[in-house]
Amino acid sequence: MFHSKIVGVGHFVPENVVTNHDLEKLMDTSDEWIQERTGIQERRFYTPPEKGSTAKMAYKASLIALERAKLKPDDIDAIVFATLSPDFYFPGSGVLLQHMLGMGTKPALDVRAQCSGFIYALSVADQFIKTGMYKRILVIGSETQSIALDLTTRGRGMGVLFGDGGGAAILEATEEEGKGILSTHLHSQGEFADVLCIREPGTNEKGHSVYENQHLQFDKISPQMDGQLVFKNAIKRMPEVTMEALQANGLTPADIDMFLPHQANLRISQMVQKFLRLPDDKVYNNIQKYGNTTAATLPILLSDLWEQGRIKEGQLFALAAFGSGFTWASTLIRW
């Protein structure tokens, strides 16, 4: 039976650094307030905003991942692209990346699972490889979120959280037992769909106001969140789904060499770490530098560690995420 192993990772973030002090000039906030509540010190915004930025960041991250894997675009059989901020309402950004890479008519599909998107995309790619349908798959998480943020006092609750960036991982088939992706675990709870969402453009609002020459309502075109409810569920579901993965593989938290939590809020990551009783040297966070890059957070974490030389053969990695939907997911990877 085939298994999936990661043979290359890469990431790209825009050069434009937006610090908390920069946001102080735009809204009633402070560096102290943001760091105390989120742990974020700065984030990156794609500037100037331009068409195709989500796919362009994915392209640059993909080239790095391909180089590290010593592969060419022609060696890739398919793309699975996770994003909540595609370059077009439709089609998805997967086909844009496929064209940029010159991959002929090879398939590309998009996954809309928000902050859990990268693990969902890994799971889809893993199933393709396990069945023998494809040998190598490029898995992407890429987001341009800055253009949807209200960077005024009115929108500061969401505006201080998010950044732009893209990450890539290349999965390859292997027959080596006990290596690569050991399992993936996916969940959703749609009753909370409107707790964290952007309502427009969509088909749920009568009159489709976003398409009419009318004043657009702030609460329909900007991201909205019940922060307390999201926080409460995240600190429950992330350790829960991590334990699910460990138990499915006969492992315990003590077996984890590196835990990578979705980078939504440093306080969430710290509470999940505490629940799993993991020491600081077994948990990696970079939200301080990049903010919440949604589907891109986990591949950016992996690429960061790769660049630091902190990924070693035989290590057990646990990844967990929670986000809009609600969706949550985990995976165990034996390097």
- Catalytic residue list: 115, 262, 292
Assigned token pair, 325: 């939907």
Query: In degrees rounded to 5, what are phi and psi of residue 189?
Result: -150, 85
CA terminus-to-terminus distance, the chain: 18
**Do the beta carbons of residue 198 and residue 28 sit within 8 Å?**
no
Closest C-alpha to 54, from 193, 168, 151? 168
AA identity, residue 210: V
Which of these, 230, 13, 276, 246, lies nearest to 114 by C-alpha position? 230
Q: Which of 77, 64, 132 is nearest to 104 (CA)?
A: 77
Is there a contact between 39 and 288 (Cβ–Cβ < 8 Å)? yes
170 and 7 in contact (C-beta within 8 Å)? Answer: yes
Question: What CA–CA distance (Å, rounded) separates 333 from 185?
Answer: 12
Supply the Cα-derived Rg of the chain in whole angstroms: 19
